[in-house]
Structure 1
C-alpha cells in the first residue's frame, strides 16, 4: 500500500464539510495532484511554515502546516508561502541526478539484536519537478481568492 498525500484545487463555493469522503467523484475538483509520503516527510519542516486551516475542527481554525493524518485547507493567505516553498524545492531538485536518493526517518531493526538504519527513498528528478510545478500552479490560483487547495493526508 502506498502512502500518499492528495491535493485538490476546488472552488471556494464547494462545501468543504465531508469533502474528503466524496473527493474522487466530486465535479467541483478543478485539478489535483498526489505526492508520495516519503517526499512530503522530507520537506515537512518547510511545510510547517504555510498558513492553513483545519476543516475537520469546528470553526475551521487557522494554524500552520499540514494535518499529516487528516485534512488541511489552504486559501489565498497560503498562496505566497506555498509558491515560495515549492519553488525553492524545485530549484534545489533541479540539481539532482535523474534518479536520486533521499534519506528518511530512522528505522529500528526488527529484532532486538539488529541495528537500525535510515530509510532511503529513490525518486525520479523530472517527476518530482513536474509535481512541484503543478503545486506551484495550483498555489498561484489560490492568490485570486476564488479557490481552496484541499489536502487529504495519509
Structure 2
C-alpha cells in the first residue's frame, strides 16, 4: 500500500468537524485527488509557503503549509499561493522525460557495516502534470470564496 495525501474540494457550508471520518461517502465532496507521499515530500518546502488552517486544533488557527500527519484546511486566502506553487512545479515537470527520477530521502543500509544511499523516486510525467492541474483547478475554485480544500495527511 502506498502512502498518499488526499485533497478534497468541499463547500464552505460543510461542517468541517468530522470531514476526515466521512470523506469517502460525504455528499459535500465536490472533487478529490490523491498525491503520493514521495512527491509531496519532494515539494514540501514550497508547500510551507501556502497560508492554511489547522481544523484539528481548537479555533482552527491559521498557519502555513500542510499538516503532514493530520488535517489541513485551505481557503480563498490560500488560493493564489497554492495556484502559483503548483503551476511552477507543473511548468518545471513539463520538461522531464516521460518517466523521470527524483532523489528522495537518505536511507541507511540494513547492517551497521553497509553504507546508505538516497532513495530513487520514479514518476510518470503526464500523471504528475494531471495531478497538479487538478490541484490548480481546485485552487481556482478556492479563489471564489465558496469552497475549502481539505487535506488529509498520511
TM (norm. structure 2) is 0.99
Superposition deviation, residue 59 in structure 1: 0.2
Residue ranges of structure 2 left out of the alignment (5+ in a row): none
CA RMSD of aligned residues (A): 0.4
Superposition deviation, residue 22 in structure 1: 0.3
Moved over 6 A (4+): none
CA distance in structure 1 between the partners assigned to 2:19 and 2:132 by the alignment: 24
CA distance in structure 2 between the partners assigned to 1:110 and 1:26 by the alignment: 43
Superposition deviation, residue 130 in structure 1: 0.3
- The DSSP-based 3-state class of the residue aligned with 1:114 is coil
Superposition deviation, residue 110 in structure 1: 1.1
- The DSSP-based 3-state class of the residue aligned with 2:17 is coil
Superposition deviation, residue 47 in structure 1: 0.1
CA distance in structure 2 between the partners assigned to 1:119 and 1:77 by the alignment: 35
CA distance in structure 1 between the partners assigned to 2:107 and 2:14 by the alignment: 41
Residue ranges of structure 1 left out of the alignment (5+ in a row): none
Q: List per-residue Cα deviations over 1:91-149 (Å, max 9, x = no partner).
A: 00000000000101101111101110001110000000000000000000000000000
Partner of 1:113: 113
TM (norm. structure 1) is 0.99
CA distance in structure 2 between the partners assigned to 1:145 and 1:18 by the alignment: 21
CA distance in structure 1 between the partners assigned to 2:28 and 2:117 by the alignment: 44
CA distance in structure 2 between the partners assigned to 1:18 and 1:104 by the alignment: 33
CA distance in structure 2 between the partners assigned to 1:18 and 1:107 by the alignment: 36
Aligned length: 154
